[in-house]
Amino acid sequence: MKNHKLELVTTNTMRHFGAMAGIVAAWVVGIQLVIAILDLVFSQDIKSFLVSLSAIPASLPNFFEIVIFIAFMFVYPDFKWAIQNGISRRTFLRGRMIALLGSVVAVFVVNQVLNLFDRPVSDPMTMLIDFSILLASVLTAQTIGTGFGLLNRRGKVIAAIGIPVVFILLMTSLMGIIFGFQDQISHALSNEAFVDAVIKIMATPSLPWIFLVIYLLINLGLTKFFNDRMQLRRD
């Protein structure tokens, strides 16, 4: 029974994302096809028409990445469905994570194939970096969506307005602090030994991957924290 509920959550989440991706793809292809046909009608240039058609597949990857980001931000509707169908928070979260990983892999593979219409096959390291960025982005979207799931409509509006404002204020304060320590920073940068040590540390190949793992773990922890505290609401 538990495995069946886990499968329900996973397939339900992936079905929603698949439907969104399909609709967006149909619109993108349709609009570009109409534009290409109109251009052919008015210009009578068959070569330009064929070039426009060949460029359509390569335009889809960016849209798929946007769609998967948006799709995994909408957590509460699926949470509400899960609770109403007797699915626990733990099973819901596990199903969402499986669906997230499966959707990221699917989008990555499809995008790699579509990109072949525009450029050669990427090297393995570039592929790994692209996959890591996509995974981190989608997991961030789910973390944000799960956090918003704790809020009612008014709270979401306040958060949507307040968070960017707070971020701007923090960045402004940070810049002020940096300018305040300008002399100390200039002195440190004039120290060749210090600069060499910083460059050596930043050039460590494993450092970006360590940061990535830490970032993913933080997002997983926040997602679980928010998920365990979501409640059904009347709004």
Q: Measuring CA to CA, which residue among 235, 72, 230, 73 is closest to residue 154?
A: 235
Q: What was the pLDDT predicted at 132?
A: 92
Q: Measuring CA to CA, which residue among 79, 9, 82, 10 is closest to residue 230?
A: 79
- At how many degrees (to 10) do helices 182-189 and 192-202 cross? 80
State yes or no: pLDDT of 108 exceeds 90. yes
Residues written for the chain? 235
d(CA 185, CA 32): 51
State yes or no: pLDDT of 102 exceeds 90. yes
DSSP classification of residue 191 = -
d(CA 231, CA 223): 14
Q: What was the pLDDT predicted at 57?
A: 84
Q: Measuring CA to CA, which residue among 100, 99, 111 is closest to residue 216?
A: 100
Mean pLDDT of 79-92: 89
d(CA 65, CA 24): 11
Rounded to two decimals, what is the model's pTM?
0.81
For a pLDDT cut of 90, what percent of the chain falls above it? 30
Higher pLDDT, 160 or 144: 144
For a pLDDT cut of 70, what percent of the chain falls above it? 87
Q: What was the pLDDT predicted at 67?
A: 92
C-alpha distances (whole Å) from 155 to each of 58, 177, 191 are 39, 31, 49
- Our CA angle for 101, 106, 109, nearest 5°, is 125
Weakest mean pLDDT among 121-130, 131-140, 187-196, 205-214: 187-196
Mean pLDDT of 46-62: 81
**Residue 114 · residue 58 · CB < 8 Å:** yes
Mean pLDDT of 110-138: 86
What residue ranges do the domains of the chain occupy? 2-149+212-227
pLDDT digits (tens, 9 = 90+) for 179-224: 666 666 666 666 666 556 666 666 667 778 888 899 999 999 999 9
